[in-house]
Chain A
């Protein structure tokens, strides 16, 4: 069965391009150009995956996730952006997106990313891996849940390899792990990113906004 996808993006040119690139590989069941349009549409269509622009005219992508997720927990979000502002990307991931890719991604890679997110995997582009490493690095955990506030050495290693451009199976080969194990490391990082109470994460985002 084809993955049912809703694309949320306010750039019509980009929408048309994505539709053409995705072709028959997935089933694009709906399109929306704003938070206000997207929320009822996604609730109604209940797709497998929402391809979500980080910046929308009437808000940011995390607003869509926050309003849809409680009612449609099965819908998975893949963030997509031309923005390199690290705090925006981290914000949408923390809101619950299962991955982040840049708009320069090729059609083939995008189809693959959508499928993986649809299967429940996390999709980390090299750039996102870099952001996450940076966000988790600043010093020791200050209180909170230590298990959530730190990356394990293995998780760090996996993220570094993703940042260096390794695919999951290449990482598995290099670290002598199974691909499933690599996937679960990445999912754990995602969970920590979303649940961590870590002060540094907020501080880091604030600093990035200020700089």
Chain B
């Protein structure tokens, strides 16, 4: 029994009368040994309880045998209870409760919720509690309810506590796994798809760059703009950003997007968006440059989008009919929405498309 705690006191060889138990206790408590001996003598009168207790302590301290100690301790307690005048079944009940709890405590080391439960000890205590329940004469009616309630609290309390802790942990774990699932599905729908595409097109640097830029925009919008991944219709900036990514991917150009303010997309703003996309596509196809600058500004009075390149430029009067139609479609679209488009260009000086939509018309 090497794991047993050190005895709280050692029998004292010095000034001992019998085994030195009383002297040891007296020294530990710092009282006169005669007083301790007197207590034991009185207890010995109570049906011999003092004698049993003396032997129990001696067994505990000197011999270090816990089972013997427990049995002797129980015997001492029982004798004491009998002497006080409790009925036989009450004594057995209390003995069982105490013994059971002692067993549970020894097994678990404590009554904390994380300690292992000793089912044997708990069962023993429960049987004792049942025996106590019918009550009986005199002192039993006072002692029994207290003993039963104490037992229930000691046994059920830690179990209920542990159940509550488990449920909290379970809820937290479920929340975490739901969150992880959501992130996983978003990443799967966007980032992983893009990575797969990049691997397939590894030999086409322009396409890879465009894919990476598009994904970067997308992810950034989600991380910093609280914009759902893949949801491009949420706002002017989000929709422009998506259109820019499309143009980059299709035509292998870089679109630098800047913005001040943002607004929701209604029908008129949607017209601006379509016109902006067309302007970007035009620039990508005809300007013969690598970079297109797009700036969007949403104020209380106006939504404005500027699409600019430093490319070839053109003379409006000299452009072929098919391209002129495209330009006119930008202008007409804005007019129908209640806005205005201006296309400024000259050969060799690049092109800028200005799209303006008064907010009151929106």
Contact A130 B293 (CB under 8 A): no
- Complex alpha-carbon distance, A82 and B213, angstroms: 11
Contact A130 B220 (CB under 8 A): no
Residues from chain B with a CB closer than 8 A to the CB of A133 are 260, 297
For residue A20, CB closer than 8 A to chain B, the reply is: no
* Docked complex: B290-313 residues within 8 A CB-CB of A: 291, 293-295, 297, 299, 306, 308
Contact B295 A85 (CB under 8 A): no
Contact B224 A165 (CB under 8 A): no
Contact B224 A163 (CB under 8 A): no
Interchain CB contact (< 8 A) of A164 among B226, B291, B308: B308
B286 to chain A, nearest CB (A): 17
Contact A126 B295 (CB under 8 A): yes
Contact A165 B260 (CB under 8 A): no
Given known contacts A84-B224, A85-B224, A164 and B260 CB-to-CB distance under 8 angstroms: no
Q: Which residue of B lies closest to A126 (CB)?
A: B258
Contact B256 A84 (CB under 8 A): no
- Complex alpha-carbon distance, A127 and B258, angstroms: 4
Interchain CB contact (< 8 A) of A104 among B213, B261, B294, B295: B213
Given known contacts A85-B224, A163-B295, A164-B306, A134 and B261 CB-to-CB distance under 8 angstroms: yes
Q: Which residue of A lies closest to B293 (CB)?
A: A165
* Docked complex: B174-199 residues within 8 A CB-CB of A: none
For residue A129, CB closer than 8 A to chain B, the reply is: yes
- Complex alpha-carbon distance, A68 and B352, angstroms: 42
* Docked complex: A126-178 residues within 8 A CB-CB of B: 126-127, 129-131, 133-134, 137, 160, 163-166
- Complex alpha-carbon distance, A131 and B259, angstroms: 7
- Complex alpha-carbon distance, A3 and B1, angstroms: 78
Contact B297 A83 (CB under 8 A): no
A87 to chain B, nearest CB (A): 10
Residues from chain A with a CB closer than 8 A to the CB of B224 are 83-85
Closest 6 CB pairs of A and B: A165-B293, A126-B258, A130-B258, A133-B260, A134-B260, A163-B295
10 contacts between A and B (CB under 8 A): A84-B220, A84-B225, A126-B256, A127-B257, A130-B295, A130-B297, A160-B297, A163-B258, A211-B225, A211-B226
